[in-house]
Chains A and B, each alone.
Chain A
């Protein structure tokens, strides 16, 4: 039940609502109930249930209150979810290849440790393939449309260009999948999603997957239909959009730079290898100089190996994160669009309802209030997710950039030590000669 009263302005959304609503986050008056609540009157609620009747959480009090709790705690901390509140740990590892008559595919082990009551057992261990992660993501997007869902690594890879079963590819993909589940697990709302629960615990996901197709069709229709146009995107969301566009551009640029570096390093490596062999072949023509020349060849060789490691790191650790954030940005832009739609719908309905009331005193239907509720919840969720995303982004980029610096330092350290040990050898011989001469 929702109370109706005098209009209450919400500074953040910049709207002028006609009906007052209790801000979902300001006070929790409804009794907490674990079951999804959105019970509505018989009039037109096609949009809040699946075609098979399973209710969908949009902003159930349970999730709201826990969101409230989480937000309070998160505000105090600088950075990601503190270990104090963390009670769900998920890891993706152990890739295995499966060969059947129909297809070949990879599965990953998904291990869960938790103290949450929503889980029957404290530990779980299941095997999932990419399809399953994809299913999960779709379910999350559909069931939590007001939230930013973390991205998955690219689904399709060009056959013949990329080897889907190469160690490198599987390793990179697995790391991205691990990041994905960790992000979901760390999210105060998404982590409680029952689909996520199924994903982590169910022995056999296959049955549930059938629903995905139906859901997908049903839900995507929801936001396309209506055709409401937003008149003005509130400033704060507009600036979010601008930021995302610019940031996406910078990421693209960095991706290109990193790829170019890898290419230049590869070409340098090719020449360097040949360079080393020339010293070796020269050494074979010399007597006194044989050892020094072989020494140089050896040092060059060490540098080559160090360079290989550096390039590999860029490809495997740096570039994937850049690409992941590009996908993340797309996701976020999507959520912003949905928010706009939601607001547009509310404003549209409100306008129509107001006109009606002016004409024939028809009261504002409950639907409209529900719309306002939706918008405000959406805004709150989005803002919370935006903050979280900004924090994570800062952490992630701090990490990969620091990592890049570390790898470069390590590369130069390896090279330096290779040349220093050569000098020791060369100079020892010199002092040997000198002492024998003066004697």
Chain B
């Protein structure tokens, strides 16, 4: 399963590029996986993993009602084969989608400066009409299985995430994982994270890089959404074109019945028209794979956005801390010199109703000094936090950008390959029909 990286410099010898157009989508998948191993980190090199099966289960849910859901089988096995050269028996456990969601939420909260890989969509969207939007539909389940596997591989190939203990337990400990993740107390942070995502606050000196990144992320999101929407419409129309040709099949057959010399040729040509009409189903099913690749990056934009938001929050807190400190210092100055520089109600009242006593003032000053000291500590902390966040986040962002460019380029190539395959099929069918016509 873990083939040697096929994308090494041997391909520079590939002048006859057309040969590569026969690559299938499974091979393309392997290319992606191999790239992850190359670029990726420790875990994937030690542990092979895949989501191999999906099964339907029924059980009682949290509100004690019967429900049907799907579970996915995660298989793991050490990357090195056994000492006797045999492939070791894999470890297996079953997980359902909601558990993946839980894992992801944990990761989001624990590594707020990392662009966390997305899960495949919960419900089928951007569906062209013949495709089922039903979550229990076997094709949807199959595509989801692939998506979940992809998610695990992405996490396992991330330099930071792959070392996470909880992630490891998710892969290896079927029962104990849940307790372990809850014990981390990550759920407390979930609420505050949600708050930060939805809160509106203005940052005075926004980091230009993050602003640009957020804008790019929004643009990418819009572009891919639009693309997926129109692609679904294109698929619908193409389906119509192919299927109408099936009618030729029927009429040629009927017509051949009243002809003598032309009969055979017409009849066979009719069969080819039927073949042509039927071929669109497989073609469009394969294209869903491309749509899934795009969807992954559509959902990735949300992860990018949330990193930007987190940064904004930190920046805001930093600025607030700085502002607060400045204000307190000014207050101290006022108190020390007796001048009112900044308008305050206290200042006004003391002016109106008389100065405080020396004792009171000194008390206040002491408290204020304490405050200021704490404030300076806080500012230092926040500064540190912000600085670290920016550093780590930016490292991950660069990594993500490279990955995105690579993956999307691969996706476009495989899309072009699909188109070529469709054209070849079309040429084949019409050539066959032409031969029949020439025999008429």
The interface of chain A, by Cβ under 8 A from chain B, is 243, 246-247, 250, 253-254, 257, 260-261, 264-265, 267-268, 271-272, 274-275, 278-279, 281-282, 285, 288-289, 292-293, 295-296, 299, 394, 397-398, 401-402, 405-406, 408-409, 411-413, 415-416, 419-420, 422-424, 426-431, 434-435, 438
Contacts and interface: CB of A to CB of B under 8 A. Distances in A.
Contacts of A428: 17
B230 A257 contact: no
A274 B433 contact: no
A275 B231 contact: yes
23 contacts: A250-B255, A253-B251, A254-B251, A264-B244, A268-B237, A271-B237, A278-B226, A285-B220, A288-B409, A289-B409, A292-B408, A299-B419, A394-B262, A401-B440, A405-B430, A416-B420, A416-B423, A423-B18, A426-B416, A430-B413, A431-B9, A431-B11, A434-B8
B346 interface: no
Q: Which of B248, B416, B437 has the most CB of A within 10 A?
A: B416
B415 interface: yes
A410 to B, nearest CB: 9
A282 B423 contact: no
Contacts of B20: 423, 427
Given A261-B244, A409-B430, 18 more contacts: A250-B255, A254-B251, A271-B233, A278-B227, A282-B224, A398-B262, A398-B438, A405-B433, A405-B434, A406-B434, A413-B427, A416-B420, A427-B20, A429-B409, A430-B11, A431-B9, A431-B12, A438-B8
B179 interface: no
Interface in B262-277: 262, 269
Contacts of B236: 271
B81 interface: no
A308 to B, nearest CB: 14
Contacts of B258: 243, 246-247, 250
Contacts of B238: 268
A238 to B, nearest CB: 14
Nearest to A268: B237
B424 interface: yes
Contact of B437 (A274, A402, A413, A434): A402
B417 A423 contact: yes
Nearest to A417: B423
Nearest to B257: A246
Given A261-B241, A264-B241, A412-B423, A299 B416 contact: yes
Contact of A267 (B240, B412, B434): B240
A268 B424 CA distance: 20
Contact of A424 (B17, B244, B426): B17
A401 B409 contact: no
B330 interface: no
Given A405-B434, A412-B423, A415-B419, A278 B237 contact: no
A405 B440 contact: no
Interface string B229-247: 0110110111011001101
Given A243-B258, A289-B405, A296 B244 contact: no
B234 A272 contact: yes
Contacts of B230: 271, 274-275, 278
Given A250-B251, A250-B255, A423 B423 contact: no
A389 to B, nearest CB: 14
Interface in B322-347: none
Q: Which of A271, A401, A408 has the most CB of B within 10 A?
A: A401
A268 B238 CA distance: 6
Contacts of A423: 17-18, 20-21, 413, 416-417, 420
Contacts of B254: 250, 253
A275 B334 CA distance: 66
B431 interface: yes
Interface of B: 7-9, 11-12, 14, 17-18, 20-21, 216, 219-220, 223-224, 226-227, 230-231, 233-234, 236-238, 240-241, 244-245, 247-248, 251, 254-255, 258, 261-262, 269, 405, 408-409, 412-413, 415-417, 419-420, 423-424, 426-427, 430-431, 433-434, 437-438, 440
Given A247-B258, A405-B431, A434 B9 contact: yes
A243 B14 CA distance: 59
A296 B234 CA distance: 15
Interface of B is mostly: helix
A282 B248 contact: no
A412 B251 contact: no
B231 A416 contact: no
A346 to B, nearest CB: 30
Given A250-B254, A402-B438, A405-B434, A415 B237 contact: no
B397 to A, nearest CB: 14
Given A250-B254, A427-B413, A434 B11 contact: yes
B223 A281 contact: yes
A94 B16 CA distance: 48
Contacts of B416: 296, 299, 419-420, 422-423, 426
Give the 5 A-B residue pairs with the shortest CB-CB distance, closest first.
Answer: A405-B434, A416-B423, A268-B237, A282-B223, A412-B426
A147 B355 CA distance: 128
Contacts of B427: 409, 412-413, 416
Contact of A296 (B237, B415, B424): B415
A413 B423 contact: yes
A337 to B, nearest CB: 20
Contacts of A424: 17
A43 to B, nearest CB: 46
B14 A257 contact: no
Contacts of A254: 248, 251
Nearest to A393: B262
Contacts of A243: 258
Given A268-B240, A271-B233, A278-B227, A292 B251 contact: no
A423 B18 CA distance: 8
Contacts of B440: 394, 397-398, 401
A282 B298 CA distance: 13
Contact of A427 (B17, B224, B241): B17
Contact of A397 (B21, B262, B415): B262
Contact of A257 (B227, B248, B269, B420): B248
A247 B223 contact: no
A398 B269 CA distance: 12
A285 B238 CA distance: 29
